[in-house]
């Protein structure tokens, strides 16, 4: 299926030209990695048999798949700040603690959902939008608001961009995070207006400081009461504003409409989507073409992503196994491949130690991704985390001492016993070095390993006790540069 | 080359260098912090005569846009109190440096350093056409380039690329080769063309840990791990291979650095009492590495949370307390080590904050701001006047800078590190007198 608008007269080949080459397990695994958190052997087999079109459609049309996951329990918070002020110090502390605890619950709940969902693309996109509209619970503090935002992003993950921008501009967590709840006519607070343009839609260099000031005025009075969005009329600036070359008594929605008319907005979003799903730093010509497609489609992300996941470029050598796994991708994939039962809160700790603390992005820019995930510290941490995941023992911070009471003390409260890898392969496989290596490489790496690498792993098994082999070989495979890619 | 006969990764590196002494050794190998033993340590490097070659520069990043006006308070200016009706620091509580300015009362520890002649205040630092985006302005400070959007390398990274005669692998001089960031991330400031700087959070987690509890098995696993992460010359035209090459280079750097860091930090026995803050923890780690004689001259530490758009007062006070207590404890440690004369420390933030407070009890993004320089060999005092705060003196409500931040960089590069600043900063900037 090609979307009409991708066909340009006389163009040699459109970026979104559908892939017509042979379909294989390798490409099926690639699709499941990028549109989800990696497939188990059975999932890969299934997608390989179903073919490209059906596999992509099954991922994109996730609303056809029944999924009823009960939401996490949320604390009852006072309806507004005035009620909080009336509380005693002790009650305030209790309120703060219960929210902090609930935020950890929500994060654990989300990770559990990512691990077990039948709609992997929906959760993958929720992570994408969480990084895009980055909002930290450190500042928001209110667990109900953090959950509401998470659910908003999930429900609108393939909606139109207008709906997303209008919704996020009314989202209590965002209003709080970027201080729009205190953006008043008398003293506009520019924080939200600036980031809306710089990070959420247009990119820096496409607007002036005066545009920031005008947009801030348009959003004055936009705040929330309890869990609900509210506009305080007397705080809202009804005066004329000059914004991106237009004049009028604009409010927030007008600002969003004008932003959507800017070609730079389509380029910004096309590039961001492409970098997340296909490869970093796409060629300008690709971005241009995708941007045109996105605008003609009125910023509807569903047909856009469907075409992208079916495209030639998505299955090109530049895309295949060239993406550095995010910590979420690495940890969730590893847990699924290893079949470990690790408490989701411990997995959140693991991701935090690798540089991706879900619900606590480092700043409003979210996570830069790509090669910035990797430095000397984080790479060793990834390798060590693989070992901890095999053992089911996640440290609360840094590293675990080899033995003794200090090890127990530094172990995450939520750690669980180690995995039993043998359960996937029958009892005898550990005795057969080459068989064990091939099985673990296929399961974990999902791509061929070099002949030299395979030989090194086999040689290792020959010098190691049979009982030690499965877990230590798994750790070694996961301590390879190859395992960092998907 | 027969890799299998080589027992340790140090021997591996040494042999690789030996075999490729014609100058084709992969550059990164000669330029990791820790590449080899210190047979060619600090003593080998001299650029500008008369400048000792064992000097160290530490950069403290204050992320988020620090409110310079409440850090160095212009208590004699009425405009300050008019603009800061709620947030203004009362004149009687300011720790006065002269008749017009003083430190925030939470910086009492730094006042001690100032009085002892170990601190300079540089006022009104910024750059032309200030950018009020955190990310862009931070990039400008870290690359030292306000014009180009394409500068890939950091100012400290360029120093590492340019400054040392020891960079020539044929000369086998390994110092100074790379910077160390304390923390799990790698700032752009340290990014260099030829080298790979090191990021580490703590020496304990900075090594590969085999999961086997039997020493014998663990040793075998470690050897295999090293072999699996070894760099091989490969076809870098293939995007996947280029990624693998990048990863294995970082892995090699990590392993070599890990050995060296463990070796040097073992020598530290603790000299001072540090507070429990994040900055103090980072600075203590730096103190350990300095005490052990790690061959690097550049350390980078950071704090965040300065983006005080709302409810600034308490938050900013806590941050200033963390800064003051951390820096003071660190200098105490260095003095006890006898290393205080080798170290200079500079603070910076990507911008200051708007002169007028907003309606949220906070301040919005501004531009010019003061910064601090610490060290027992500096010329202490206050450099530059406090920028005017009258309406006509402001640029869109922000203080105007008078000292380009690259003047501060040039001063540090030339007068402290003994490196030519022009190739690093792309132009000659006026040097200041604080060192």
Question: Tell me: the pLDDT tens digits for B72-118?
Answer: 999 999 999 999 999 999 999 999 999 999 999 999 999 999 999 99
> Residue B206: which of A380, A403, A476 has the nearest Cβ?
A380
Closest CA to A301 of A280, A338, A270: A270
How much is the pLDDT for B48?
Answer: 55
Instruction: Cite the DSSP H helix spans in B26-128.
Output: 27-30, 68-71, 78-83, 108-115
Is B104 among the domain residues?
A: yes
pLDDT digits (tens, 9 = 90+) for A104-152: 999 999 999 999 999 999 999 999 999 999 999 988 999 999 999 999 9
pLDDT digits (tens, 9 = 90+) for B107-150: 999 999 999 999 999 999 999 989 888 988 999 999 999 876 66
> What is the nearest CA distance from A69 to chain B, expressed in angstroms?
35
Is B431 among the domain residues?
A: no
Tell me, what CATH number does B155's domain have? 3.40.720
User: Mean per-residue pLDDT for B203-209?
Assistant: 85
Question: Locate tokens 């075998």: which residue?
Answer: B220
Is B19 among the domain residues?
A: no
pLDDT > 70? residue B13:
no
Judge: A459–B207 Cβ closer than 8 Å, yes or no: no
| CA angle in degrees (0–180, nearest 5) for A370-A57-A444 | 45
Cα separations in angstroms, B346 against B282, B297, B375: 15, 14, 9
Q: Could you give the count of Cα atoms lying within 13 Å of B87 in the half-sphere of its Cβ?
A: 32
- Least confident range of A231-240, A397-406, B278-287: A397-406
- The pLDDT confidence band at residue A2, using thresholds 50, 70 and 90, is very low
Is B283 among the domain residues?
A: yes
Please tell me what DSSP assigns to residue A232.
Answer: -
Is B228 among the domain residues?
A: no
The pTM of this model reads 0.84
Q: Could you give the count of Cα atoms lying within 13 Å of A442 in the half-sphere of its Cβ?
A: 13
B130 touches chain A (CB under 8 A): no
Is B252 among the domain residues?
A: no
Return d(Cα A135, Cα A358) in angstroms, integer: 10
> What is the nearest CA distance from A472 to chain B, expressed in angstroms?
7
Return d(Cα A162, Cα A177) in angstroms, integer: 21
Three-class DSSP category at B390: coil
> Which residues are CB-neighbours of A208 under 8 A, at least 6 positions away?
none
Return d(Cα A397, Cα A350) in angstroms, integer: 9
- What range defines the domain where residue B118 resides? 41-200+257-425
Closest residue on chain A to B184 (Cα): A377
Task: Give me the count of residues in chain A.
Answer: 486
Judge: A391–B211 Cβ closer than 8 Å, yes or no: yes
First to last CA, chain B: 50
> What is the nearest CA distance from B120 to chain A, expressed in angstroms?
31
Find the helix or strand (DSSP H, E) in which B90 lies. none
Percent of chain A with pLDDT over 90: 75
CB < 8 Å to B224, chain A:
456-457, 459-460, 476
Number of continuous H segments (helices) and E segments (strands) in chain A: 23, 4
Higher-confidence position of A333 and B30: A333
Residues 137-156 of B with CB under 8 A from A: 149
Residues 176-195 of A with CB under 8 A from B: 178-179, 182-184, 186-191, 194
Closest CA to A297 of A146, A434, A97, A162: A162
Return d(Cα B249, Cα B195) in angstroms, integer: 10
How much is the pLDDT for A419?
Answer: 66
Is B30 among the domain residues?
A: no
Number of separate domains in chain B: 1
Residues 209-268 of B with CB under 8 A from A: 209-214, 217, 220-221, 224-225, 227-229, 232, 238-240, 243-244, 246-248, 250-251, 253-254, 257-258
Closest CA to A215 of A169, A252, A178, A264: A252
A234 touches chain B (CB under 8 A): no
pLDDT > 60? residue B330:
yes
pLDDT digits (tens, 9 = 90+) for B280-314: 999 999 999 999 888 788 999 999 999 999 999 99
Q: How many CB atoms lie within 10 A of CB B427?
A: 9
Is B13 among the domain residues?
A: no
How much is the pLDDT for A86?
Answer: 85
CB < 8 Å to B213, chain A:
402-403
> Residue B359: which of A187, A452, A468 has the nearest Cβ?
A187
Q: How many CB atoms lie within 10 A of CB A145?
A: 26
């Amino acid at each position: 299926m090609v979307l009409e608008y991708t066909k340009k007269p006389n163009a040699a080949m459109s970026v979104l030209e559908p892939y017509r080459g042979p379909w294989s397990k390798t490409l099926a695994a690639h699709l499941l990695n990028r549109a989800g958190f990696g497939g188990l052997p059975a999932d890969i087999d299934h997608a390989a048999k179903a073919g490209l079109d059906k596999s992509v459609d099954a991922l994109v049309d996730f609303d056809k798949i029944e999924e009823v996951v009960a939401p996490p329990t949320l604390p009852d918070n006072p309806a507004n700040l005035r009620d909080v002020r009336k509380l005693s110090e002790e009650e305030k502390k209790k309120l703060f603690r219960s929210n902090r605890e609930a935020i950890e619950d929500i994060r654990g709940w989300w990770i559990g959902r990512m691990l077990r969902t039948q709609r992997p693309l929906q959760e993958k996109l929720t992570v994408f939008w969480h990084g895009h509209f980055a909002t930290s619970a450190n500042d928001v503090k209110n667990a109900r608001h953090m959950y509401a935002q998470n659910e908003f992003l999930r429900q609108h993950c393939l909606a139109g961009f207008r709906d997303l921008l209008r919704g996020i501009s009314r989202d209590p967590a965002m209003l709080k995070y970027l201080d729009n709840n205190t953006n008043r006519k008398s003293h506009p607070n520019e924080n939200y207006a600036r980031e809306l343009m710089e990070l959420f839609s247009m990119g820096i260099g496409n607007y002036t400081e005066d545009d920031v000031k005008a947009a801030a005025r348009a959003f004055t009075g936009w705040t929330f009461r309890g869990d609900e969005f509210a506009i305080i009329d007397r705080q809202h600036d009804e005066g004329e504003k000059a914004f991106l070359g237009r004049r009028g008594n604009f409010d927030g929605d007008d600002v969003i409409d004008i932003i959507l008319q800017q070609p730079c907005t389509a380029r910004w979003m096309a590039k961001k989507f492409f970098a997340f799903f296909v490869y970093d730093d796409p060629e300008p010509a690709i971005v241009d073409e995708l941007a045109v497609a996105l605008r003609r489609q009125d910023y509807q992300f569903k047909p856009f992503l469907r075409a992208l996941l079916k495209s030639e470029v998505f299955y090109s050598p530049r895309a295949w196994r060239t993406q550095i796994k995010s910590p979420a991708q690495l940890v969730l994939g590893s847990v699924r491949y290893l079949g470990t039962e690790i408490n989701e809160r411990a997995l959140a700790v693991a991701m935090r130690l690798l540089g991706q603390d879900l619900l606590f992005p480092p700043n409003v820019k979210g996570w830069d991704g790509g090669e910035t995930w990797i430095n000397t510290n984080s790479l060793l941490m990834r390798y060590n985390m693989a070992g901890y995941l095999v053992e089911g023992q996640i440290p609360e911070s840094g590293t675990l001492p080899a033995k003794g009471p200090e090890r127990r003390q530094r172990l995450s409260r939520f750690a669980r016993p180690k995995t039993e890898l043998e359960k996937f392969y029958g009892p005898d496989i550990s005795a057969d070095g080459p068989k064990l290596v091939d099985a673990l490489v296929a399961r974990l790496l999902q791509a061929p390993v070099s002949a030299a690498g395979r030989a090194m792993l086999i040689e290792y098994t020959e010098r190691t006790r049979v009982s030690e082999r499965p877990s230590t070989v798994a750790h070694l495979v996961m301590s390879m540069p190859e395992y960092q890619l998907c | 080359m027969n890799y299998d006969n080589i027992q340790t990764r140090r021997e591996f590196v040494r042999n690789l260098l030996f075999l490729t002494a014609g100058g084709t050794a992969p550059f990164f190998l000669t330029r990791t912090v820790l590449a080899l033993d210190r047979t060619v340590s600090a003593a080998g490097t001299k650029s500008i005569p008369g400048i000792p070659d064992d000097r160290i520069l530490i950069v403290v990043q204050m992320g988020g846009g620090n409110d310079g006006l409440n850090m160095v308070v212009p208590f004699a200016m009425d405009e300050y109190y008019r603009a800061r009706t709620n947030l203004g620091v009362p004149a009687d509580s300011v720790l006065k440096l002269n008749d017009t300015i003083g430190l925030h009362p939470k910086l009492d520890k730094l006042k001690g350093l100032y009085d002892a002649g170990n601190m300079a205040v540089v006022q009104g630092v910024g750059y032309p056409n200030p950018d009020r985006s955190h990310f862009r302005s931070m990039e400008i400070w870290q690359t030292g380039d306000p014009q180009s959007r394409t500068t890939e390398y950091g100012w400290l990274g360029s120093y590492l690329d340019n400054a040392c005669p020891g960079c020539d692998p044929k000369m086998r001089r390994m110092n100074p080769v790379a910077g160390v960031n304390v923390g799990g991330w790698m700032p752009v400031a340290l990014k260099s063309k030829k080298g790979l700087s090191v990021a580490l959070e703590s020496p304990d987690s900075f090594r590969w840990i085999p999961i086997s509890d039997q020493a014998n098995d663990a040793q075998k696993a470690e050897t295999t791990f090293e072999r699996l992460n070894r760099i091989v010359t490969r076809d870098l035209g293939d995007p996947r291979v280029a990624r693998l090459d990048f990863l294995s280079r970082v892995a090699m750097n990590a392993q070599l650095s890990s050995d060296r860091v463990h070796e040097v930090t073992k020598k530290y026995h603790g000299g001072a009492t540090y507070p429990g803050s994040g900055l103090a923890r980072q600075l203590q780690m730096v103190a350990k590495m300095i005490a052990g004689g790690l061959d690097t001259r550049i350390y980078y530490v950071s704090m965040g949370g300065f983006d005080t758009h709302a409810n600034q007062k308490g938050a900013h006070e806590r941050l200033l307390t963390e800064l003051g207590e951390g820096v003071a404890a660190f200098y105490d440690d260095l003095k006890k080590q006898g290393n205080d004369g080798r170290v200079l420390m500079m603070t910076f933030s990507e911008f200051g904050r708007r002169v007028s407070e907003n309606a949220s009890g906070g301040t919005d993004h501004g531009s010019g701001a003061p910064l601090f320089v610490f060290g027992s060999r500096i010329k202490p005092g206050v450099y530059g006047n406090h920028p005017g705060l009258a309406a006509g003196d402001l640029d869109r409500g922000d203080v105007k800078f008078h000292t380009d931040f690259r003047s501060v960089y040039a001063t540090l590069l030339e007068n402290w590190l003994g490196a030519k600043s022009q190739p690093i900063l792309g132009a000659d900037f006026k040097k200041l007198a604080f060192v």
